Chain A
Amino acid sequence: MEEEKPSPFADLISGGVWLLFAIGIVAGSWTMDRLVHLKVPVYTAPGLVPGLLGISIAIMGLLMIVRAIRAGALAQAHLPAFSIREHWRLLTALAICFAFALGLMGHGLPFWLATAIFIAVFVFVFQFEERRATGTLLRGAAFAAMFGLICGGVIFYVFQEVFLVRLP
């Protein structure tokens, strides 16, 4: 479970991102309406607090950049090679989850059915390798469909019928 520590170069990149983000916040706060027409004093202008937060984040981003450079970030400067094969689990999970939340939810499909489809696909995809190795793909598909239907039904019943919670 232990997360590996990011390299100084990764810190350099994240420091740079924070700096840019903070500059955006400061610029947005500076150009924000100061409500002078309402005779609002400058020290209660809506942009005051976000502006101060932006300046603070910018300083911290700069500190991070300096720290990363002192730790040798420039010597190790290279973008990590991104391989889809290595990250297929993450990318697939992202794709399935987004498809469910943005595509299936709130578009007329009954909640229990959308949930059943999502869970079945998720389970089948992430058990695929194991099932193929043991030659139980069909059984795996049947299990995933059954598991999805049971979960969809139970979640729908518990939330909507028992606890009266509105579902998407």
Chain B
Amino acid sequence: MFDGLQLFAHSIANFATPVTIAYALGACLVGLIIGALPGLTATMGVALMTTLTIALPPNIALLILVCTYVGAIYGGSRTAILLNIPGTPASAASCLDGYALARQGLAGRAMGIATSGSVIGTWIGMLALATLTPVLGEAALKFGAYEFFWLALFGVVISGNLTGDDPLKGWIAGFLGLFVACIGQEGMYAYDRFTFGVHDLSGGISLIPALVGAFGFAEVLTVIKDRPPKIIINAFDTVIPRIQDVTRYWRTVIRSGLIGTGIGIVPGVGEDVAAWTSYAAARRASAEKEKFGKGSIEGLMAAETGDNACVPGSVIPVLTLAVPGSAPAAVLLAAMLIHGVQPGPLIMVNSPQFVYDVVTMMLFASVGILIYGLTLTQLLVKILQVPQTLVMPVVFVLCVVGSFAIASRMFDIYVMLAFGVLGFILRRFNYPMAPLVLGIVLGDLLDKNLRRGLTLSDGDLSPFFTRPISFVMFLLVAGTILMNVPAFSNTVSRLWAGAIAPLRRKSRGA
């Protein structure tokens, strides 16, 4: 406990230099603008910033990425409140009550609620990041090849299940990602798979160009294909958060923070699910259910706290298992690897200081969004009014530069273009992008660990099902899939209702 505090204090002392603070504030601003502009997502923002910061020292580069990530998730709320358009998918739940408040002339108050919710959400997640990472890191040391195989599969299955409205399409996207990760030289025997003699494919499909294509170029095409709507911004009052908005709904704030963090820890699920789940939980528990969707302060607070708490939450599995909790966290993981940081079960053994460096980065990011939340409203409103015909070509140039800069290969630009077109088509057919990304990240883990596990057991499949953690993870994967089969889910619901009926009768009798 005290070791952790000491490491945290050491990190703060290291980061508290004028240059670092300037980088953090600059990155928060960039993130906020990316998040606020409809069509630009946190994933794309973090991916582009990864290339921009490639020549910087690792700690500074990762600070910039974390600040961009937090800033982008927060920035999306501005557009949700002022325009009823989620700046990022994470802010979709904020549209419901944020825009309703804005229409009542309370846009400023809504932005204040979003600021306080986001900052407190980040702090709750940050606290979990500081306390849970060592614990989970220790638990992760028990993971072997069998468990990592199931973890990779679970990540893709749960991400496919929760990130879209059609699990089957989510799983197809996820498995496509796993297959994409198989292209190129495999890790055991250096054998070229599905390269068709193309030399550049031997190195595999790099994550950053694929991501920049799927989230950046695809978004440019999606935005530009329709004539942009006229932007009408509601008038707003003061944006300074009210303390009573937080104190009155403190239960909702804490619940949403915990839900957001918990969902962040689940591989590949991400901020949008965190926001919706927090919102739904707040509605279920609220004494003012009828206000939800019509300008509920509690609803907006829940959504904003949940999505920002998810950010530090999604970094926890990155650090402990090298498995991302969300799509932007996948880029963060790639950036860590590019900068020579080795996240995974050994992180608390080899570099515990780094974990607290990331906690400090989150702290700096939360202070950054608090400062901008109080001061930058007018500037953001002006930025929102910039026509998309001016923004989109610049975004595409950044996509090209971002793809090229990692390895200075023209081939990566071709990968970006291919994934952009593929991402655009998949989205038109309602396939979610997050499982695809997660699949690309986890493909290598799944491939190596399945074959490594089979080598260890001499081809025997039973350890995949008989080791305790493996068995639990297998049940999770099977349960996630089977719960989408109506006959199975109905039976489970009936059994569950039967099991809790005596308890209900007892509590009624009491």
Contact = CB atoms under 8 A, between A and B. Distances in A.
Most buried by A among B171, B393, B447: B393
A43 B458 CA distance: 9
Interface stretch (B116-124, B187-195, B368-376): B187-195
Given A122-B393, A168-B413, A64 B430 contact: no
A53 B175 contact: yes
Interface stretch (B11-19, B125-133, B235-243, B403-411): B403-411
B171 A44 contact: no
Contacts of B191: 32-33, 35, 46
Nearest to A60: B172
Interface stretch (B47-55, B259-267, B298-306, B497-505): B47-55
A38 B189 CA distance: 10
Contacts of B54: 163, 165
Interface in B411-431: 413-414, 416-417, 421, 427-430
Interface string B55-98: 11000000000000000000000000000011000000000000
A42 B38 CA distance: 50
A11 to B, nearest CB: 8
B179 A32 contact: no
Contact of A67 (B168, B389, B404): B168
Nearest to A67: B168
Interface in A88-117: 89-90, 93-94, 97-98, 100-102, 105-106, 115
A106 B168 CA distance: 41
A167 B52 CA distance: 11
B280 interface: no
Q: Taking chain A's interface residues, is the majority helix, strand, or loop, or is none over half, making it mixed?
A: helix
Interface stretch (B220-228, B244-252, B283-291, B319-327): B220-228
B401 A44 contact: no
Interface string A76-94: 0000000000010110011
B436 interface: no
Given A57-B175, A166-B408, A47 B193 contact: yes
Most buried by B among A28, A57, A87: A57
B401 A167 contact: yes
Contacts of B56: 163
Contacts of B447: 49
B414 to A, nearest CB: 8
Given A44-B188, A123-B390, A93 B221 contact: yes
Nearest to A91: B225
Interface string B178-216: 110010001011010110000000000000000000000
Given A89-B225, A101-B417, A50 B168 contact: no
B509 interface: no
Contacts of A53: 175, 178-179, 182
A61 B172 contact: yes
Contacts of A164: 55
Nearest to A32: B193
Interface stretch (B268-276, B338-346, B354-362, B448-456): B448-456
A119 B389 CA distance: 10
Nearest to A42: B459
Contacts of A30: none
Most buried by A among B188, B191, B220, B459: B191
Contact of A14 (B51, B390, B400, B429): B429
B29 to A, nearest CB: 14
Given A3-B428, A28-B194, A90-B225, 17 more contacts: A5-B430, A41-B459, A44-B451, A50-B193, A57-B176, A57-B179, A61-B172, A97-B217, A102-B414, A105-B410, A118-B397, A119-B394, A123-B389, A155-B394, A159-B401, A164-B55, A165-B401
The 6 residue pairs across chains A and B that have the minimum distance between CB atoms: A122-B393, A90-B225, A126-B389, A43-B454, A164-B55, A46-B191
Interface of A: 1, 3, 5-6, 10-11, 14, 18, 25, 28, 32-33, 35, 38, 40-44, 46-50, 53-54, 56-57, 60-61, 63-64, 67, 87, 89-90, 93-94, 97-98, 100-102, 105-106, 115, 118-119, 122-123, 126-127, 147, 151, 155, 158-159, 163-168
Interface of B: 38, 51-56, 85-86, 168-169, 171-172, 175-176, 178-179, 182, 186, 188-189, 191, 193-194, 217, 220-221, 224-227, 387, 389-390, 392-394, 396-398, 400-401, 404-405, 408, 410, 413-414, 416-417, 421, 427-430, 446-447, 450-451, 454-455, 459
12 contacts: A1-B85, A25-B194, A38-B189, A40-B189, A53-B178, A97-B417, A105-B404, A106-B413, A118-B397, A163-B56, A166-B405, A168-B400
